[in-house]
Amino acid sequence: MRRRCEGLLLGLLATGFATLAITGRLGWPVTVAVSCAFILRGVLFALGREWRISTRAWSLTLVAYLPVFALDGWWFSQSFLVASLHLVVLAGAVRIFAPRQGRDDLLLGILAFLEVLTAALLTVSGVFLLLFLLFLALLVLTLVAQEMARAEAAAAVRLAAAERVPSGRLLRFSLLLTGLAVAVGGLVFFLLPRTTLGGWAARPLGAGLSGFSDEVRLGAIASLQESDRPIMHIRMMDATPPLAPAEFQRIPWRGRGLTRFDGQRWYDPDPPAVFGTEDGRIQVGRPAWREPAELVRYQVLLEPLRSPVLFFPPRLLSAATHDPVLAWNNNTATLAGLASDATGGAYSGVSDLAVPSADDLRQAGDPGRARLRLRPFLELPPQLDPRIPALARAIVAGAPGDSWDRMQALATYLRTRYQYSLENLPVGKDPLSAFLFDQRSGDCEYFASALAVMGRSLGIPTRVVNGFLLGSYNQLTGEYLVRGRDAHTWVEVYFPVSEAMRRDGFDRPQWITFDATPSAGTQTAAAQNGAGMLLDALSSVWQEWVVNYDWLRQARLAGGLQGGVAGAAAGVLRDGGEAAAAAWKAALHPAYRRQAGWLITVVLSLALALLALLSGWFWQRRSQSARRTPGYLDEAQQARARRAYRSFRRRLARLGVERQPGQTAEELLAALARRSPQPPLAQAAQRFISAYQTVRFGGGTEEETARLRAELRQVRRVARKRYLCAQ
């Protein structure tokens, strides 16, 4: 039992570490080191070998690690909170090799629980849900096994093999307790009153989201573009006119707009206006009066980012959030919360996708009285390299004089003459000049900055926008998964209203998107396939119904329950039918069918295996119950007894003792005694007949059946010796 407890505790610690490792906050050196420690300990445990370090050596190791801890806090992690997390994880990994007592097992169990609790604050991944359920089951198993081990030790005896609890029963009992804990905990979670303060919301460690603060240096977004970190899930609710998923995927999602550039960084000097919302709703614009309208409504699940910026398609009209107050910057069209440590959440919005035609934009005239208001969008760095305006004039020398064609010429030149790269980015006092005239490669921020500055040098109002391109489309959930690698920067250009634009229904100036980044920097995946779909769907459900489950969702759920059980059941059936139909439709998609065929096979195999296990368990319980019934005779035991008796008769027949019709076992035994007076054979036959009658007519146990087979072998040996002597 002690060995079983040790194995379960090792699995518990490994699962706790895995939940923390998937957050990506440990760093690869710590993750690799601790993983190797668990693998080594697991191999030694499987082989039944022991390799221990003394408690004194473990303590000295902790003392020796203190200088490394200081370097980690000051230099490597640049955060003593993260360094402390590294210290605890490494200390636990070393502790699994040290001798332990009951108190040490308790401390290691608490350590595993704290690792899971910390991971819950750092991630909303669906993988965490799977690991958490595994951890919960292992925790129950470990606690039950530890209690059994303590009871065995208190009894001061070692239980016989027949008296020990089988592993199958222990596993079933623990899984039952785990299921009850999940059911009761889920019920309490959904019924416990929510608050609007979010005091226990996830607050990830580390700095804010690079590229979406009030001040952004060139190349700051590159670190985010190298990450697969989930940023948000987006669902298109409806569009007028209808919009295909591929068309919706081409729309950029803008975050923060920036107006001023000092040669190395973009920033916005103007503070935003603060508005109180009406139950979380805010109106920031009105749609064009052109017909037909091109409106799109969407919902967003934003991951915890420690950034207050909210992301929307261009030309936001209205938004609905849970925030009582929002900040709106009209110069940059940026919507944000007031808290700098925003922790994600759910919100929705409506945007106007209508864009004037190229011919209408070519006819846009002089800004007129708006020129004074547009001065921030025309400012150039104080020490701008004169080669940049000269290059801009040379590029547009052969283009028409309107802003549209000149910006298209600049974007085409940058897109075709420069290379996209996230490595070895231009630095120095003038990184923009280094990009344009020396290295000729950079990330999207360099392309956008060059386009915006060259446009301003030609008198064209521009602003830089940081945001995201829509990444992968999940056909199971109908949602778009946006990751860190989908981060992007582009330029928006101001166009005043022209008569042609008014005739087409645009009565306000327009900010039009221009992108100079080569295609290598704007590629996105069309869809997720295979297991990635299922994991993303799980993450989406986990975040929507657990992480972002607030008082508003609870109120809606309570209102639905108050509507009556019948109505709620009908709604569940209806929604379940729609969900099943959508899942079936997605499953029939060729791209998913090719990738997920193996996954369906695995799921069906597991379902059949589970059904077989349940069936075996049911029949075993039924058989055990029947054995306890008076007068019950086990058919299998009787069959074994009959086969043994036939073998016994054949052995006696070789010795000349034939069983006569109607002759009982006792009469056959008496005939043998008259025919063979030798005591060994008669005694062996007597013992066999006794065992046979016990099993055949008394429902003998497994031990008695084994005794019957042993007595038959003894009869054969004695009979063989007598036969040889007779020969």
* Identity of the residue numbered 575: D
Residue 448 burial by CB count (10 A; 0-12/13-18/19+): exposed, middle or buried?
buried
Among candidate residues 431, 236, 441, the one with its CA nearest the CA of residue 351: 236
Contact 458, 405 (CB under 8 A): no
- Return all residues near 290 (Cβ < 8 A) that are at least 6 apart: 354, 504, 505, 506
Residue 312 carries which DSSP code?
Answer: B
Residue 43's φ and ψ, nearest 5 degrees, are -65, -45
| 144 in the same domain as 273 | no
Residue 599 lies in a domain: no
Contact 257, 505 (CB under 8 A): no
Q: Indicate the pLDDT class of residue 548, thresholds 50, 70 and 90.
A: low
Helix (H, G, I), strand (E, B) or coil at 524: coil
| 221 in the same domain as 187 | no
- The pLDDT of 698-707, averaged and rounded, is 72
| Among 297-311, 446-460, 561-575, 679-693, the range of highest mean pLDDT | 446-460
Residue 596 lies in a domain: no
Q: Indicate the pLDDT class of residue 107, thresholds 50, 70 and 90.
A: confident
Contact 259, 494 (CB under 8 A): no
Give the pLDDT of residue 170.
67
**Sheet strands side by side (includes 345-352):** 281-283, 316-320, 345-352, 295-302, 230-240, 479-483, 472-474
Residue 461 carries which DSSP code?
Answer: -
Among candidate residues 278, 322, 326, 318, the one with its CA nearest the CA of residue 296: 318
Q: CA 346, CA 356: separation in Å to the nearest integer?
A: 31
| 125 in the same domain as 227 | no
Q: List, for residues 462-492, the tens digit of each pLDDT value.
A: 999 999 987 788 777 778 888 888 889 999 9
| Among 108-122, 240-254, 434-448, 678-692, the range of highest mean pLDDT | 434-448
Work out whether strand 419-420 and strand 441-442 pair parallel, antiparallel, or are unpaired.
parallel
Residue-range definition of the domain harbouring residue 640: 635-726
Work out whether strand 479-483 and strand 487-495 pair parallel, antiparallel, or are unpaired.
unpaired
| 234 in the same domain as 175 | no
Residue 563 lies in a domain: no
Contact 395, 410 (CB under 8 A): yes
**DSSP string of 183-225, one letter each residue:** HHHHHHHHHSPP-SS-TT----SS---TT-SSEEETTTTHHHH
Q: CA 462, CA 331: separation in Å to the nearest integer?
A: 11
| 141 in the same domain as 258 | no
Half-sphere exposure of 613 (CA within 13 A, CB side): 10
Residue 434 lies in a domain: yes
| 220 in the same domain as 95 | no
Domain total for the chain?
3
Tokens in use for 28? 């690869």
Contact 225, 443 (CB under 8 A): yes
Q: What angle do CA 284, 290, 294 make, to 5 degrees?
A: 65
Q: CA 599, CA 607: separation in Å to the nearest integer?
A: 12
Give the pLDDT of residue 600.
60
Query: Last residue of a domain, which of 497, 521, 545?
Result: 521
More confident residue, 434 or 93: 434
Give the pLDDT of residue 616.
67
Residue 435 lies in a domain: yes
Q: CA 359, CA 363: separation in Å to the nearest integer?
A: 7
Give the pLDDT of residue 726.
45
Residue 48 lies in a domain: yes
| 223 in the same domain as 178 | no
Predicted TM-score (pTM) of the model is 0.60
Give the count of beta carbons closer than 10 Å to the beta carbon of residue 646: 10
Residue 64 lies in a domain: yes
More confident residue, 122 or 587: 122
| 224 in the same domain as 104 | no
Residue 194 carries which DSSP code?
Answer: P
Give the pLDDT of residue 62.
79
Give the pLDDT of residue 575.
55
Kindly report the CATH number assigned to the domain that includes residue 317.
3.10.620.30
| 254 in the same domain as 125 | no
Query: Last residue of a domain, which of 143, 176, 191?
Result: 191
Q: CA 384, CA 399: separation in Å to the nearest integer?
A: 24
Query: Last residue of a domain, which of 491, 521, 551?
Result: 521
Q: CA 70, CA 80: separation in Å to the nearest integer?
A: 8
Helices (H) and strands (E) in the chain, counts: 23, 19
Residues in the chain: 727
Residue 264's φ and ψ, nearest 5 degrees, are -130, -25
Q: Where are the alpha helices (DSSP H) in 123-221?
A: 126-154, 167-191
Indicate if the pLDDT at residue 177 is higher than 90. Answer: no
**Omega before residue 292 within 30° of 0, cis:** yes
Q: List, for residues 262-285, the tens digit of each pLDDT value.
A: 988 899 888 888 888 887 788 887
Give the pLDDT of residue 205.
41
- Return all residues near 58 (Cβ < 8 A) that are at least 6 apart: 94, 95, 97, 98
| 36 in the same domain as 171 | yes
| Among 112-121, 194-203, 549-558, the range of highest mean pLDDT | 112-121
Indicate if the pLDDT at residue 418 is higher than 90. Answer: yes
Mean pLDDT, the chain, whole residue set: 76
Q: Indicate the pLDDT class of residue 133, thresholds 50, 70 and 90.
A: confident
Q: CA 464, CA 460: separation in Å to the nearest integer?
A: 13
Residue 547 lies in a domain: no
| 333 in the same domain as 241 | yes
- Listed in order, strand segments (DSSP E) in 303-340 are 316-320, 325-329, 334-336
- The pLDDT of 649-666, averaged and rounded, is 76
Whose tokens are 């785990």? That residue is 178
Give the count of beta carbons closer than 10 Å to the beta carbon of residue 649: 14
Whose tokens are 């569009």? That residue is 239
Give the pLDDT of residue 341.
46
| 366 in the same domain as 239 | yes
